[in-house]
Amino acid sequence: MWTEQASGSGTRRRRERSPEEELHTAQDGWWQMTFRALRTLLLFSIILGLSLLLWGYVFQGCGPSPCKTSVCQDLLDLYLASGNTSVAPCTDFFSFACGNINRTGSPFQALAEENKRRVRRILETPGSWRLAPGEEKAFEFYNSCMNMSAIEAAGASPFRQVIEEIDQPELDVLLKQKQEPNYAQILREYLSYLNRLVTLLGGDPTKVGNDASYSLFINSQLNQFLRPGEQQQAQGKVFEMVTIDQLQRVAPAIDWLSCLQATFAPMSLSPSYCVAVHDLEYLKNMSQLIEKDLMKHRDFLQSHIIFGLVKTLSPALDSQFQEAHRSLSQKVGELTGRPPMPVHPRWMTCVEKTEAFFEPTLATLFIKETFKPSTHSAAMELFTTIKDTFISHLHTVPWMDRETRAEAQDRLTQLQVKMGPSEWALKPDPARQEYDDVQLGPSFLQTFLSCIRSRQARVIQGFLQPFSSHRWQVLPWGLKASYSIPDHVMVFPAGLLQPPFFHPGYPRAVNFGAAGSIMARELLHIFDQLLLPGGCPACDTRDLQKALLCLERLYAALPSPKGTSFNVSRTLLEDAADAGALAIALKAYKKRLVLFRGETILPNLDLSPRQLFFRSYAQVMCRDPSTQDPQDIRSPPTLRVHGPLSDSPAFTRHFRCPQGALLNPPSRCQLW
């Protein structure tokens, strides 16, 4: 039915709906609402299904899976052997990770010994290598060193020939102790040692006692001149550049130009030549002592040369000389509380000497044996991630001003890194490896002396070469990373990038927690100067000092191992590097997890990937706390673990540490 309705613009017609039509319209609206609801529900179901599929893809297909390779099994065995899982990790993580370290030994010490065994395997399989002319002398030297029957048969005769070139004064010895409480007993042990040496050399032991007491007195005087390393560093006098002429005026008792010319021949030296002196004040005092007392006892100086030779040449001498020195070290150690000289098997001594004399040859072979291209690329990838994370992390450092931050980021960007082998190890110079000046035989001592002269000549020849940019030479089997300030180059030797700290087949959590934290620590040490008083004038010194004080108090509140003591102020720079390294390595690891799927874990360890990261960090620090040197610039190993972990909220979260636990303190610091 239609009706008309008047309006200002005319008349409009309007159709009125019947009751039946109204009913149909209401039904249509209900169906439309139902359809929209069903469509929304269907869309939600699809999204939910896709989410579940994605979750299954990420967390089931790419979630943590056990690493069952042989390298992971070896690492698992080490972790199970060195740790004590009965200890609560939030209370004593050091014992949790390193509780049985006395049984397994320090991982650094174990790795150093393993690297020695690797070199030994190389030296005992000469037929496996393609050698350049002259390189076979390295293998002949090692075999001669291992031939103890020939060395024993020669006895002291070869060494007596060397002494005849020096002259035969009354024999004497140096004691490096000052005002020891057991002075008389120590003196008797030294006299016994000297008597034995003189007997071995065919001399008259009755002449030894006359000068022994005087020798002890002189050496105690020399000991008083020594200054601790931190004192020299605080005074900015670790190294001082002086001319030879200036050195002569400061310490006139020694003819420095003649001595240096004899030592560094064929270098051409003059009085105006600059030298780097480690402790100029010590040389000054030593010169005064020589002028005052030692010139009256010239035989003492000659005797010192003799006994210096005994120590230097002992690996090439009859085992009775080595046994005499070892016995002395043992007895003096008992009297002074110092550790005795370690006893090494003969093969290890021979490996060390072969490494020293034939480094170019063995470096190349060691790299070929232990540092494959895949290891190099994986290590470079790890370092790049750590460095990039540190660059971005600098934005979060609260005490650093904008200009200092930009300079620090620029330094990190321009930093060069040498990972594993050096250029000279990959492309050795054949001329350096012919060893024409090395004469083998007739006795091993003569071979040993020839190798000493050859090595010295190579060192001097290196001084005569033009200084190449970014020149670096680190022992490939070494374990210590280094940083060259002039070259702005950081070096990580191949010997360090080995299990248990790094392997391309390890879970990422292990590589980032162990090797990654080592890399981050070395990067942080580049900026140690900023933390020293006046080291960063533009920084917010109030915030910086507040953070340093916070860290110092954090470490001071942690319990020290029984029988150990340390100075928190002396270890502060190392503590800062440890805490910062853990934070940066963890952030880099998280970044890697976002970019790459397929994380693995160690089976049967019951640790998540992030828990494994912290476990691997602690493994680097594992060693016997009782071996801590009171003068060490690093904190005891327990604090190197507990300090950074207690400063990490992530550690507390992933191990669910309750409030009040040792490693969940009420407040934390942010230095780096």
Question: Quick check: is 281 catalytic?
Answer: no
Which of 608, 623, 671 is closest to 644 using CA atoms? 671
Q: CA 20 to CA 18: how far, in whole Å?
A: 5
Alpha carbon distance 147, 448 (integer Å): 13
Q: What's the pLDDT at 9?
A: 47
Q: Please state the pTM of the whole predicted model.
A: 0.79
Q: Say which of 170, 578, 599, 647 is annotated catalytic.
A: 578
Q: Identify the CATH homologous superfamily for domain 70-104+372-422+476-654.
A: Collagenase (Catalytic Domain) (3.40.390.10)
Site of tokens 């030479």: 473
**pLDDT at 470 (0 to 100):** 43
Cα–Cα distances in angstroms (integers) from residue 102 to residues 16, 78, 84, 107, 147, in the given order: 99, 13, 12, 11, 34
Rounded CA separation 58/55 (Å): 5
Here the tokens at position 546 are: 């507040």
Other CB atoms within a 10 A radius of the CB of residue 406 amount to 12
Q: Where are the domains of the chain?
A: 2-61, 70-104+372-422+476-654, 240-277
Residues with pLDDT less than 50, the chain: 1-14, 23, 53, 55-61, 167-179, 431, 469-470
Taking CA atoms, 176 is separated from 179, 216, 329, 540, in Å, by: 10, 8, 12, 46
The DSSP 8-state label assigned to residue 99 in this structure reads T
| The predicted structure's pLDDT at residue 407 | 96
Return the structure tokens found at 167.
């002259």
So what's the pLDDT on residue 7? Answer: 45
Phi then psi dihedrals of residue 4, to 5 deg: -110, 145
Which tokens is 149 given? 């029957």
- 339-396 pLDDT tens trace: 667 788 999 999 999 999 998 889 989 999 999 999 999 999 999 999 999 999 999 9
User: Residue 593 corresponds to which tokens in the numbers above?
Assistant: 């997890």
pLDDT value of residue 575: 96
**CA dihedral angle for residue 168, residue 172, residue 174, residue 175, rounded to 10 degrees:** 160
Active site (annotated) includes residue 578 = yes
The Cα–Cα gap between 500 and 497 comes to 9
Q: Count CB atoms within 10 A of the CB of residue 219.
A: 17
Q: Report residue 11: phi and psi, to 5°.
A: -110, 130
Please report the DSSP string for 335-364 in residue order: HHTPPPPPP--HHHHHHHHHHHHSHHHHHH
Choose, from 522, 574, 575, 599, the residue flagged as catalytic: 522
Place of tokens 């070896």: 74
Strand partners, 528: none
Token pair 């393993």 is found at 114
What is the rounded end-to-end Cα distance, in angstroms, of the chain? 84
